[in-house]
A and B are shown apart, each in its own frame.
Chain A
Amino acid sequence: MSKTGYVVLALLLMLLVLLLGLLVGSFETDISLLADTFLRYDPDNLTHFSILHLRLPRLVLALVVGASLAFCGYLMQAMVNNGLADPYLLGTASGASLGAVIVFSGFVPITILGFYMPSLFALLGALGSTLLVILLGYRKGQLIPTQLILAGVALSSLAMAFVSLLTFLSDSESKLKSVVFWSMGSFERAGWTTLMYPSLALLLGLLLFAFLQKQLNILLLGADRAQALGVQVAQTRWLILVTVSIITGFAVATSGSIGFVGLIVPHVTRALMGASGKANLWFCAFVGGFFMLLCDLLSRLLYPPVGLPIGIITSFFGVPFFVYLLSRKNYKFSS
C-alpha cells in the first residue's frame, strides 16, 4: 500500500473508532441518540450529558495522550539515536508516579482550591526528575546521550523505590487502589478542563518540530554525521529535551504512566512510512493517538463499565504487533 493509502486508511479507521467509542458506555446509545445529542443537546438529559461531557473528552484525552507519547518517543529515539528510547527515558514516568503517590499517601490533600493535586504533583515530579537527569547528563557544555540514559535509569529506580516504600507503608486499601490505578494509566477522570494543557503542549510541540523534521531524520544517522551535515546537534537536543519533558509531563499528569506507546509507535511509523519520511512526526502522533483510542475502546469493551487500566491493554495488543513489525526483513531503524 502507498503512504497516502496508509494515511487515508488510518483516518477512516480513526473516525470509526471514535464513533464506536461514543457508542460504548453505561447508558444504551445508538446512532440516532448520538445524532440527537449533537444536534439537539439537552443538558438535563443524562445520556446526552454523558456523551458530551464524559465520553467525548475521554476519547479526546486518549487521542492527545497517545499522540503525545508517540511524538515524544520519536523525538527521544532521534535524540539518543537509539531505538530503545521512549518518553520515560528521562525518569519522567517514575518522577510523576512519585509525585502522585505522595498525594495519594496523604501527605497532601487530594484537592486544594479545587485543583486536583495528584496531577499537579505528578507534573512537578515529572519535570523535577527530568531536570535532575539533564543535570547529570550534562558534561562540558554538552548533553551526553549515554550519560542521560544511565542517569534516567538510576533516577527512575530511585523514584520507584520511594513509590514502593510509600505503597508498602500505605495504611488503607483505598490509598493502595489509587496508587495501583494511577500507575497503570486511566482516562476515567477526563473532562474538558483537564484537556487544555496537554493538548496545547502537544500542538505547540508538533508545530515547532514540523520545521525540524529534516534535522531529526539526519540526527537518526548519528550525532557526528548529523554535525557534519550541518545540523546543530546540541541545540536540537536541548529543544527535544525541553519539549519532551513538558509534553510527557502533562500526558503523565493527566492519565498516569502508560507504557509501550512511546516505544513502539515510532517504530510502527518508520516501518510504514520509511525511516526518513517527511511527515513522520505527524504520522507518528496520529498513529499514537489512534492506537490509544483503540486501546481505550477495547479496555471498556473487555471490562465494562470502568475499563481495564489502559497500560495493560497497550502492552497486550501493542507488543505482538511490534514484534511482528520487527521481524519483517525490510525494517530499519534509520535510513
Chain B
Amino acid sequence: MLCFLLLQLLVSCGREQTSTQQKEEILLQDGLGRELHLPKQPKRVLALAASMTEMLFAVCDTATIVARTPNCDFPEGVYKKPVVNNYPVDYEQVLLLRPDLVFTVEGITPLETAERLKELGVLVYYLKFRTVEDIFKGLETIGEIVGREQQAKQLADSLRREVAQIEVRHKEQATTPRVLAIAGYDPIYVYGHSTVITDKLRILGAANAVEESFGAQSREYILKANPDVLLGGKPEEMEKGFFSIYPELRKINAYQQKRMYGPTQDLMGRASPRVVESIRELEGFLYP
C-alpha cells in the first residue's frame, strides 16, 4: 500500500493565498480565489498579459519563460521568445508550448478562456492589483510558485524601499494636487479610484480627481472634478485629440494652467516591476 504524505505550505499575498503540497502536487489559490492543483512545481511558464511577462522576467529564470504575447515589448529579452496570441488566445500554440502554468491579470483574460485552457490541461493563475504594494506581493507570489522566493523577496523589498523614499518626500506637503488620468479620449475613459494610479498618486502626495471606478465619464463630471493636472498627453496632443472634441473642457484648471502631461503608456497602464519608474515619471510631472 502506498502512502502519500501531503504538507501544505500556505503563502499569503493580500487576499491571495498559495498553498503547496509537498512531494509533487501543489495546491494554489489565485487572486480571484480560484483553486489550482498543479501536479509539480512549474518549470515552463508564460504570461497572457504584457505586465505579467515583465513580472515573470523580473523573478523567473528566463529559460523557464516559454513565450510572449504580441504586446510584450519589455525587457529586451522578450523578443527571443516565441509569440503566442492572447486575444483571442491561440489554444494550439499554447498546447504546443506545453506550459506548466500560465499567468495573467484580472480583466485581461476572460474566465471562460481560463476554463477552456483548464479543459486542455493548462492551468491559468490570475493576479489582481489595486495598489503598488499588490504588485510587490505579486512578485513574491510568483517567486513562491516558481521556487525563487529569495530573489523575488529581495526585488520586492528593494522596490518597497525606493517607494518609501519617494513617499517620505511628499508626506508633509501643503497642497494635494488633484489629478485626472485619461485612458481614452472618445469616449472619455478615466483611471478610476480603485486602480493602481490612485495609489501612485497617494504616494506622491496627490489625489485622483475621480471618485468612481474605472470607466467612461461625462464632460460635466470632469468639469465638476476640475482637476489641477491632466495625465493623458502632452499639451499639443491633448489640444488636437481631446480639447478639439470637447472644447467645453477648456474651462478646467489643468487646461488653464497648461498642466497636461503624457506619461509613458506602458509605465502608466502596466502593473509591473517598473512601477517605481512610473512613480518617478509622475513625480517629475507633478513637481517639475
Q: Which residues of A contact B (CB under 8 A)?
A: 25-27, 46, 49-50, 53-55, 104, 109-111, 114, 116, 118, 173-174, 177-178, 181, 186, 188-189, 191, 305-307
Contacts and interface: CB of A to CB of B under 8 A. Distances in A.
A101 B248 CA distance: 25
A27 B224 CA distance: 7
A234 B241 CA distance: 46
Given A305-B220, A306-B218, A49 B241 contact: no
B185 A181 contact: no
B11 interface: no
Nearest to A180: B187
B284 interface: no
A32 B183 CA distance: 37
B223 interface: yes
B186 A305 contact: no
A305 B226 contact: no
Nearest to B186: A178
Nearest to A110: B241
A174 B184 contact: yes
B49 to A, nearest CB: 12
Contacts of B218: 25-26, 54, 188, 305-307
A188 B189 contact: no
22 contacts: A25-B218, A27-B220, A27-B223, A27-B224, A50-B220, A50-B224, A54-B218, A54-B220, A109-B240, A110-B241, A110-B245, A111-B245, A118-B186, A174-B189, A178-B184, A181-B216, A189-B246, A191-B247, A305-B217, A305-B221, A306-B187, A306-B216
Nearest to A50: B220
B248 A188 contact: no
B219 A54 contact: yes
Given A46-B226, A191-B247, A177 B187 contact: yes
Contacts of A114: 244
Interface in B182-211: 183-187, 189
Nearest to A104: B186
